[in-house]
Amino acid sequence: QVQLVESGGGLVQAGGSLRLSCAASGSIFRIVPMRWYRQAPGKQRELVAQVTAGGSTNYADSVKGRFTISRDNAKNTVYLQMNSLKPEDTGVYYCNAPIGALGTWGQGTQVTVSS
């Protein structure tokens, strides 16, 4: 069973940066795409970024040019580097792997961007 544990969230001023990490257990990590989602208060969870097993990436339009997703298969870890943060980036950020009927999710990490 794969488990995902996020870290790196916090409070930052607008224009600042944060790097989120998601540590995964299990060797299957290396062969599945990994995703970061976020959920703002009162809003639906949305896909922020994805990295395939081969390293190809794609992003939500709202974060293109500011966020970078990457993975280190040797460490079973996926990262989300967030630069030029805006107050609208505030939310709980979740790591996701498409494993199991409902996917596998981490517990989430809070990101708060103050204006």
Percent of the chain with pLDDT over 90: 87
pLDDT at 27: 78
Residues 6+ apart with CB under 8 A from 48: 35, 36, 37, 38, 59, 60, 63, 67, 80, 93
Q: What is the pLDDT at residue 67?
A: 98
Q: Which residues of the chain have pLDDT under 50?
A: none
Give the span between the Cα atoms of 97 and 18, in whole angstroms: 22
